[in-house]
Amino acid sequence: MEKACRLIGEAAAGGARVIAFPEGFIPSHPIWYHHHPATGRVSNRFAVELFKNSLEVPSSDFDTLCFAARDANAYVVMGACEKLPDTTGTMYNSQLFIGPDGILLGRHVKVMPTVGERLVHAGGYGDTLRAVHTEFGPLSALICAENTNPLVVFTMIAQNPRIHVISWPGHFPTSGDPMRVRVSVDSRAVAQMSKAFVISSCGTVDEDTIAKLQVGSEGEAFLRNPDCCGGSVIVGPNQQVLAGPMGAEEGIIYADCDLELTIAAKLRHDFAGHSGRPDIFRLWVNESRPRLYNAWGTGRPHRAPGTPPLLLPPGTEGG
């Protein structure tokens, strides 16, 4: 949390108004499942620590993050492992949208956890497939492989984002091309379809993490392979790379986004507008959230004490 707030301040000092973080930046991403048995001692220990340190919304920790965004006068899209307050065992792979006034504008929860994430993350629902309003226009975000899912991507395109954030993990096994190439290809593809500026934020794996993971010499060689992590990049609506791609090092990249470019690009192809054919194609998204438990005889959904209402500012009651 301290590192996140420091980086928000540093990025804002560099002129950033939209600041994007990698997948699961707070507190971490469950990359150990690439290296250890799912039910083994090491995996179980890390999973418990992940839950204990995951972010609750609302909470004093989350308020600290909101204060940092407010002080920076910036929109922040934070990748976080999120747990419901006062619960033990359920976590979500989330992107949290915080406005320059320090208010929670919305959240996106990864619809289908991937690989090892399935062991610790619950899937999201259609109610978080929403762009949020900013002074620059709609801002959308998706996580990792969601940006190659045509239906999920079009759900965001249909909301006409001007800026789209992609959050990536610290590493994943590559099949031929380095991770930075995969990230660049996917980012340019989303930019081409959405005609939005795309910010791809990738995690890294440092030496302290490698030591803690206890993966042996072969695993350490993989984790240190610069082709298997990194690749943060910013792409324009004309698919031109504006900044990056970075390597596996830590750092911040910046780009100036001329929003008129989104107009010029959409005048040519607007797949959510004049280039679409609603008489032929329609996408229906279920934005309702299923309820596991209803109080008997009342017909009202039960919500555990302290459970945060969805998409409301921290501490707001109702929902």
| Half-sphere exposure in the Cβ direction for 121 (13 Å, CA) | 27
Q: Is 195 labeled as catalytic in the residue annotation?
A: no
Residue with tokens 């290296």: 35
Cα separation, 43 vs 122, in Å, equals 17
What is d(CA 142, CA 140) in angstroms, rounded to the nearest whole number?
Answer: 7
Could you give the CA distance from residue 203 to residue 116 in angstroms, rounded to a whole number? 16
Concatenated DSSP letters of 224-287: H-GGGS---EEE-TTS-EEE----SS---------THHHHHHHHH--TTTTT--TTT-------
Which backbone phi and psi does 218 adopt, to 5 degrees?
-65, -45
User: Is 144 labeled as catalytic in the residue annotation?
Assistant: yes
If DSSP codes are grouped into helix, strand and coil, which group holds residue 16? coil
Which member of 23, 82, 117, 146 is catalytic? Answer: 23
Distance between CA atoms of residues 187 and 202, nearest Å:
12
* Catalytic, out of 110, 229, 257, 266: 110
Name the packing angle between helices 150-157 and 179-194 (round to 10°).
50
Selecting among 66, 82, 83, 144, the annotated active-site residue is 144
Angle between helix 2-13 and helix 60-72 axes, rounded to 10 deg: 10
The DSSP element (H or E) to which 61 belongs, if any, is helix 60-72
The question of whether 23 is a catalytic residue gets the answer yes
Q: Annotated catalytic sites, by residue?
A: 23, 110, 144
